[in-house]
Structure 1
Amino acid sequence: MIANIATPAAMGVAGINSVLLLILVSVWVRNYRQFGSPMILGLLGFSSVLLIENLIALAFFFSSMQALYSMDPLAGQVVLGMRLLELIAIGFLSYATLQ
């Protein structure tokens, strides 16, 4: 039963991560155009890679690959845990960036 909840929850968290990352990318693109700092370029690259990873995860969820997580309850729980840890990290980064 938990796996049935964990997999969609993990994909919901991936969606939230994607939205936060889109916000960060837009802020850092604007800042890079204004300042041209290599640090901002690094943050932009970092967030772009994470955004692509989350979008691929969502694409796999809506494809036939969803069965991989649904077959093993532990896999769904681990994926949810990893997505939640990523959300916490992105949350800290978003808070610091938007201050």
Structure 2
Amino acid sequence: MVMGVPTAAAMAVTGVNSVLLAVLVVVWVRNYRQFRTPMVLGLLGFSSVLLIENLIAIYFFSSSMRSLYSMDPLAGQVVFGMRLLELVAISFLSYATLK
């Protein structure tokens, strides 16, 4: 089954999310080593779990599971919308962290 445009776009956005989250993990590991605060540890845990979730999503997009998204065009659009919202949130967090 061929991957639809919304599903392919969702996969691309998930890749961007993963890169941003990997940057955040590196920054927060460095910050935690320096400051040892529970807040930074919480941010590190949050970004690590979200990064793992995004990497698993990329696997499912590229595996035979993509048919779950491709069977219904609305499902692909909803998944793309959710991934796009996640990108907006991660972008705000990345901007604030890197400033």
Fold match, TM over 0.5? yes
Distance 2:62 2:73 in 1: 18
What are structure 2's unaligned runs of at least 5 residues?
A: none
Structure-1-length-normalised TM-score: 0.96
C-alpha displacement at 1:17, in angstroms?
0.1
Instruction: Note the aligned Cα RMSD (angstroms).
Output: 0.9
C-alpha displacement at 1:84, in angstroms?
0.3
What are structure 1's unaligned runs of at least 5 residues?
A: none
Superposition map of 1:63-74 within 5 A: 63-74=63-74
Letter of the 2:20 partner, please give it.
Answer: L
Task: Give the match for residue 80 of structure 1.
Answer: 80
Superposition map of 1:1-99 within 5 A: 4-99=4-99
Q: Which deviations, in whole Å up to 9, do the C-alpha atoms of 1:30-64 show, x marking residues without a partner? A: 00000001000000000011101100000011110
Structure-2-length-normalised TM-score: 0.96
Letter of the 2:22 partner, please give it.
Answer: L
Q: How many aligned residue pairs are there?
A: 97
C-alpha displacement at 1:28, in angstroms?
0.0
C-alpha displacement at 1:83, in angstroms?
0.2
Secondary structure of 1:65 counterpart: helix
Question: Percent identity between the aligned chains?
Answer: 76
